[in-house]
Amino acid sequence: MKTERIEQYEFICEALANKKGLDITAIDLGNAAAVSDIFILVTANSETHMRTLLEAADEALIKYGIKHPRIEGENSPHWRLVDGDNVFVHIFSRKGREHYKIEKVWGDAEIVNYGEPYDITVS
């Protein structure tokens, strides 16, 4: 079952899907993390694709009303982060996604996987 918080940020998942983001996953951290309520993870297939996904997430957050999303790791080849206060968008290369395994760290959280064409699997 999707949580209300995940549903609140689905517009970001849609923006990433529109730019052909791979393996889009939303994680509701609940009260487990002080830094953010929701993590959204997406995998890119190239450096250019990472940049495109970063721009899509940034633009979606700005349209939503987050005035100045912070961007970390803009030149990293494996992991970039868009910080939208209550939601963090993690953009990975394939190698970065395999290395960091964020889903495993938050295994007890509500996790929603968005497949293609934007199907939903809840675990």
Rounded to whole angstroms, how far apart are CA atoms 2 and 10? 10
Mean pLDDT value of segment 24-50 = 88
pLDDT at 37 over 50: yes
Mean pLDDT is lowest, of 17-21, 48-52, 112-116, for 112-116
Domains, the chain, ranges and CATH? 4-122 (3.30.460.10)
The pLDDT assigned to 11 comes to 94
Render pLDDT for 49-82 as a digit per residue (tens, 0 to 9). Answer: 999 999 999 999 999 998 889 999 999 999 999 9
Tokens matching residue 45: 């297939």
Render pLDDT for 94-105 as a digit per residue (tens, 0 to 9). Answer: 999 999 999 888
Mean pLDDT value of segment 2-21 = 90
Mean pLDDT value of segment 35-39 = 84
The pLDDT assigned to 111 comes to 87
Q: How many CA atoms lie within 13 Å of 67's alpha carbon, on the beta-carbon side? A: 0
Q: Rounded mean pLDDT of the chain?
A: 88
Render the chain in DSSP notation, one character per residue: ---HHHHHTHHHHHHHHHTT-EEEEEEE-TTS-SS-SEEEEEE-SSHHHHHHHHHHHHHHHHHHT-SS-EEE-TT-SSEEEEE-SSEEEEEE-HHHHHHH-HHHHTTTSEEEEE-TTS-EEE-
pLDDT at 116 over 70: no
